Structure 1
């Protein structure tokens, strides 16, 4: 299995109901109108404009009673969503060059600044990271002054030290087949999280693959059930730690 799974998936039909605005210096899709609780979403490589992630943000806003910000952390660069279904476009997209332009070192200051901005405005703030966004949420989780809880689905670019450093409640949404959240990293998470003293939750999705929670096929019952369960799990987690 390779990082090609980062570039494949299914675009969902549906309308989103939030609006575009800003969070600090970054553009953001904003859903919900809670004055007390916020959720910072760090998206995968398809970014803040992907319909799927905006639909999920609408669900989080409504079901977890929060204002949700899906932030552009890619400097306006948008991966063509047609790459999800067009093998030629997927092949022509250079994922490693993209990661190089948006490395941890480059993007972490923006992620931190956005969390700090939310902390000024809301009494409780959580973060949700899909794929690329996983490392960012885990780094936030090392600092309780930045965030109150984090969830991440099929996280990418994680290292073991980031798992060991968490100081706030953590939820991991883990598919069976994942080139990024490897068996080694899953095993490490299950070994170290109990030692951190934080509340933590590890939810396993048998038979599913990296990307399913935000790019799963809604016409495939197993994937649809999985992505809906992942959404419910995140909502329940946010409701527990935001209110």
Structure 2
């Protein structure tokens, strides 16, 4: 992973500068943003309303409309970035969708192991004023990058997708009314969670070792000439914001309507990946929408307080975009 810039300023200042061109994934490996792993300050006056409990043997944050189950609701999976299940901001984001009539299940994708430095980021940070301070900060940033590389190696799709399948199966049982009322399960995802919305929206061969990986050897009992069974999609429609670790291949087998919230000049979700995804969805006649938000940092769409009014307005607009997409499908 390429070294990140020294974290010596408030995140919204990132939006005021032109980021360096993203390196090719083939050359640099997967990259993540500080905003995928660190929360903004919690919005004033807001606190989580749901509960953490087990569902299908997996820890989830569960939040429901106040009128449920008296009034019909729909089932929504919310897939987080690296800040994970216990992030207050992620829980508040889930509550916002619950207030709009969704039973929201936010699974612990990382099995109790959120990304390093998943703590609230101060509203402002003091610039380093000496060479020694700069050196210390650079050394700390290099260490964080190493820890993040190790964390990503622990949490691959081979680990996360089985978690999601367990949760989906449990939702289809316990919340069959909400799944049925919506005609399926909906999903929203932020940062890392955004990529898993794409994977849940895809169809693959059941024999694949991973969603984009190689095929397993043919099963002799099943017969060499037997066509591989298909698996997925698992959701009815999906919306994702500033996705992370996405490759063009992740758009290749999409089967359900998708809405994308993107950041202009985002080095973590570069333009070439976005345009390749748009081309793939257009060629397959998949219903989709893509909105690019200028002047905002990666991670802006997750609940969190920003001093910059433009970022606050973009955050509200992105939420409305995602909500409308779910409601319309």
Instruction: Mark yes or no: TM-score above 0.5.
Output: yes
Partner of 1:116: 169
In the other structure, the counterpart of 1:172 is: 260
C-alpha separation in 2, matches of 1:215 and 1:7: 14
Measured on the aligned residues, the alpha-carbon RMSD in Å equals 2.3
Q: Which runs of 5+ in 2 are unaligned?
A: 1-19, 21-30, 126-136, 204-231
Matched position secondary structure for 1:207: coil
Of 43, 53, 58, which residue of structure 1 is paired with 2:80?
43
Deviations 1:31-57 (A, max 9, x none): 113554111111000001111111111
CA 1:99/1:129 → structure 2, altered by over 3 Å: closer, same or farther? same
- Structure with greater helix share of residues: 1
Summarize the Cα distance change of 1:220–1:168 in structure 2 as closer, same or farther, 3 Å threshold: same
Give the drift of 1:125.
Answer: 0.9
1:229 to 304, 310, 317: 317
User: Is the CA contact (8 Å cut-off) linking 1:171 and 1:201 kept in structure 2?
Assistant: yes
Is the 2:39–2:89 contact (alpha carbons within 8 Å) kept by the matching residues of 1?
no
Aligned-partner Cα distance in 1 for 2:250–2:233: 17
State the structure with more CA Rg: 2
Whether 1:71 aligns to 2:107 is: yes
1:21 aligns with 2:53: yes
Alignment of 1:1-243 (within 5 A): 1=20, 3-5=32-34, 6-8=36-38, 10-13=40-43, 14-32=46-64, 33=68, 36-63=73-100, 65-79=101-115, 80-82=117-119, 84-85=121-122, 91=141, 93=144, 94-120=147-173, 121=176, 122-123=179-180, 124-143=184-203, 145-214=233-302, 217-241=305-329
CA distance in 1, matches of 2:270, 2:262: 10
Secondary structure class of the residue paired with 2:76: strand
Alpha-carbon deviation of 1:8? 4.5
Q: How many residues align?
A: 239
Separation in structure 1 between the aligned mates of residue 255 and residue 172 of structure 2, nearest angstrom: 16
How many Å apart are 1:142 and its aligned residue?
A: 0.8
Output the TM-score relative to the length of structure 1. Answer: 0.89
Greater shift in the superposed pair: 184-193 or 76-85? 76-85
